[in-house]
Structure 1
Amino acid sequence: MDSVNHIELTIHPSQVRPILRALLFAIFFHRTLDAVEPETLELLDSHIACAPNPTVEREVNAKIEEFAKEFLETGAERGELAVVFLQKKPKKGWFAITEELVPWEEHLITLHLSRTSRQQPATQQPLSGALLQLSTFCVEKKGNVPPLVGSSDQNNLSYQILIAPPPPSELFAPSSPPLYPTRLTSPPPAPSTTNAIATARDLALPPPSSDLSNPDNTSAKRASSPASATLGYLEQAKGGLRAVGAGVGWGGRAMGAAFGRGGGGGY
């Protein structure tokens, strides 16, 4: 990939911290977009230009110690660290437009830890060749840098320092297409005594009457009352729903449950 600068070195474990410090500061110097006065850092007989930034310096030191704990203290023979530069881009969703971070350049550092020889001649110091590779890549790939939008505090560009990063093929892989929204389903309500049934039952009860000596008159009044008509309508509705059955879908089952039928499972 033309967006990946892979620096691979074989060094002694005692050189891990100064070499990582030099490479990381050089990477951020070549890719900084702020107008700053550069400083010179001398490490392993090499002069490294760096852009002073307290936030970047703290993060670089923290990541170097994390790398040392991950690979040096465990006696590993190989370790990797990467600086990934990202750009904020709008992403269309189903219900809104959000932002996503898209990588546009990666500097992958692979260190092979050799414990056989500690001292190396100055002509064989690997740092000078790595710095030359880094500066050449950044000059040739200056078109990778996207335009800066926003202030220095809040802009569209960011970075990440990754310990044991994923392969570049995975890091720069296009994001998966959005899935169709999941259809929310729920089971129909369980059978219960609804307000309609309670109202019908209440209306069907004989109203209190002080005339208890004439039960026939009371029955006649109840038969001709609006409660009898309401209960008859409910019975007709129940019969209609039974006749329609499952053809009315979930809504039919829910209504059937409201009139006394047992509800089924969700569709």
Structure 2
Amino acid sequence: MSRSVGRDGLIRHGRAAMGLEYVILEAWSQGFLVGGLIILIMITLANIRKGVLLHKLILLELVLSLGHGTFIFCADPTYGWYLSSTATLLYISYFIHNIVSWMKIKPFLSRLASTFFISTVILVTPYWVAEIYLNFEYFNGLGNDSFAFTRPWEVVVRDGWWIFTACWLMYSIKRGYDLTSIELVRISPRFGILLLCMLISIAFMVVDVAVTVSHVFGNEGVNPFWKPYIVFKCAADVVFLDDFKSVIDRLVMHTARLNTFPDRGEVGYS
């Protein structure tokens, strides 16, 4: 009998292996994920501009992430197959998010740095293919528990570019503009929300890794902390749909207008 199947015939990592308190916790966190993403999708649709690839990729990223917030409603054996199928879409959304990060930070990068950024994003594709396979094996009792080992390493190929983008944005503002980040926040509170979403997302990412490595919730796939991570990471993409340099350049121009016409309020940008 498969190592992932118990003597009672139930899949060890299926929904039947979860206690009631874990089911409630997972259902709550998935509801948070779906609710947050639906709100972000509506905001994106309200601000999207026709023909802008970056805007379409952000919308696609949000839609692909939705499904993985619904698998708790399935019973075994559908639970495992549905979970793994929606996880595949989630992994694709991770890949798209890194492309979005590249497009947003690209104007601040040299040609060589930009090429290196997107090349490394593409080079980790084999990891995601392997992760999809191992996820199916793990949650469907197919005899391979390697996913429990590879899952903590997911953060390396998932978030390295995201963290770099956040740090390089702050550095580029300090290096290339007369404004500090605090001054930009005063001009546009939306920029402050962007920075806050980045910080909260990274904080939940760290907690997610710590919880996964320490097996706080065992190996049953229960982990509520990656859901807020995704919501705030996606929110950082949605606050400003355009690339960061275009947004900041317009904010700087708006600052000049504010100095001339101090009664004008905050400018709104996609």
How high is the TM-score relative to the length of structure 2? 0.20
Larger relative strand fraction: 1
Larger relative helix fraction: 2
- Name the structure, 1 or 2, with higher relative contact order (CA <8 Å, separation 6+): 2
Question: Which protein is bigger by CA-based radius of gyration?
Answer: 1
